[in-house]
Amino acid sequence: MASKTTRAVGVDIGGTGIKGGIVDLAKGELVSERIKVATPKGAKPSDVLSAVKEVVGTLEVGDDDGMPLGVAFPAIVKRGRTLSAANVSEEWIDFEAEKFFEDGLGRAIHFANDADVAGVAEVRYGAARGKDGLVMLTTLGTGIGTAMIYDGMLVPNSELGHLQRAGHKRDAEWYAASSAMEREQLSWKKWAVRLQWYYEYLELLFSPDLFVVGGGVSKNADDFLPLLDLRTPVIPAVHRNNAGIIGAAALAAD
């Protein structure tokens, strides 16, 4: 039986997939198989709970194992309640999500925003480990998720993908997420022009010490990060698709 001081379980709920695994908290690495199931169509709370039960059951983790369980979710999360819904059912808006999962799973959990936990993973175990000051993680995907971490302390629910562009009705993530590149068939160079605007805007507002760029597109970081001209150092994330699992587990263990 694993001690809660050495291992924890992380579950990352996304718009298309739900992933989970057991994490070694000293190394920030998965020590189990990475379990993934499809996010149920419509992503209503009861259906998502059933899928999370399947993931946790496949990992063969019980409450008596003593391992904390963290869950990451694509929404603003405040005191266990989800206040928004991105690529999931609107039933999640103003919903007591943490209590709902605790009741359904029959155990205590820690519930948090998915970008926030990815940021925690990179600061504790990844690209930003040992970095002081303000670290800003951005995940470039269907939208833009953000995490702000100052001297190791998370400032939750930054949601900076929704910054507005002057004179435009659409927000930053519609304009600059990797989905925009795919939707409009942009070259790396043309997409980088949009990223340049976005990261310059973040620099103007927050004067960060480091940008960490995550999301699936980060595996192609060499194709677009060198095209950016910023005052702030910008580096690719390390954990990519496992960041949510690792960060959720780490926060649950706290």
Instruction: Give the count of domains, the chain.
Output: 2
Q: What share of the chain is helix, strand, coil (3-state, %, to 5)?
A: 40, 25, 35
Tell me the residue range of the domain where 218 lies.
130-237
Instruction: Examine the domain organization and report whether 190 and 248 are in the same domain.
Output: no
Residue 218's SS3 state is: helix
- Same-domain status, 110 and 78: yes
Does residue 88 share a domain with residue 147?
no
- Cβ neighbours for 187, distance < 8 A, ≥ 6 positions apart: none
Q: Which of 31, 4, 14, 6 is nearest to 108 (CA)?
A: 4
Give pLDDT, residue 62.
Answer: 66
Quickly count: other Cβ atoms within 10 Å of residue 65's Cβ. 18
Return the pLDDT at 1.
39
Task: Return the residue matching tokens 């995940």.
Answer: 139
H-run or E-run covering 77: strand 77-78
What number of helices (H) and strands (E) belong to the chain? Answer: 8, 13
On the CB side of 64, CA atoms within 13 Å amount to: 0
The count of residues in the chain is 254
Amino acid at the residue 221: A
Q: Could you tell me the CA-to-CA distances from 127 to 120, 188, 214, 222 in Å, in that order?
A: 11, 23, 10, 15
Q: Are 161 and 103 in the same domain?
A: no
* pLDDT tens, position by position, 7-66: 999 999 998 899 999 999 999 999 999 999 999 999 999 999 999 999 999 998 766 578
Residues 147 and 191 grouped into a single domain? yes
Quote the pLDDT of residue 240: 87
Residue 100: per-residue pLDDT = 98
Q: What is the pTM of this model?
A: 0.91
* pLDDT beneath 70: ranges in the chain: 1-5, 62-64
How distant, in Å, are the alpha carbons of 43, 50, 62, 185 from that of 164? 27, 36, 45, 23
Q: Is residue 123 part of a domain?
A: no
Predicted local distance difference test score (pLDDT) of residue 63: 62
What is the per-residue pLDDT for 241? 85
pLDDT for the residue 227: 98
The predicted pLDDT at position 2 comes to: 43
Tell me: do 181 and 203 sit in the same domain: yes
Residue 11 lies in a domain: yes
Residues 176, 105 share a domain: no
Give yes or no: residues 79 and 174 share one domain: no
Residue whose pair of structure tokens reads 């070694």 in the numeric block? 24
Task: Tell me the DSSP string of 127-181.
Answer: TTTT--SEEEEEEESSSEEEEEEETTEEE----GGGPBPTT-SSBHHHHHSHHHH
Residue 22 is predicted with a pLDDT of 97
Q: Are 173 and 89 members of one domain?
A: no
**CATH number for the domain including 154?**
3.30.420.40
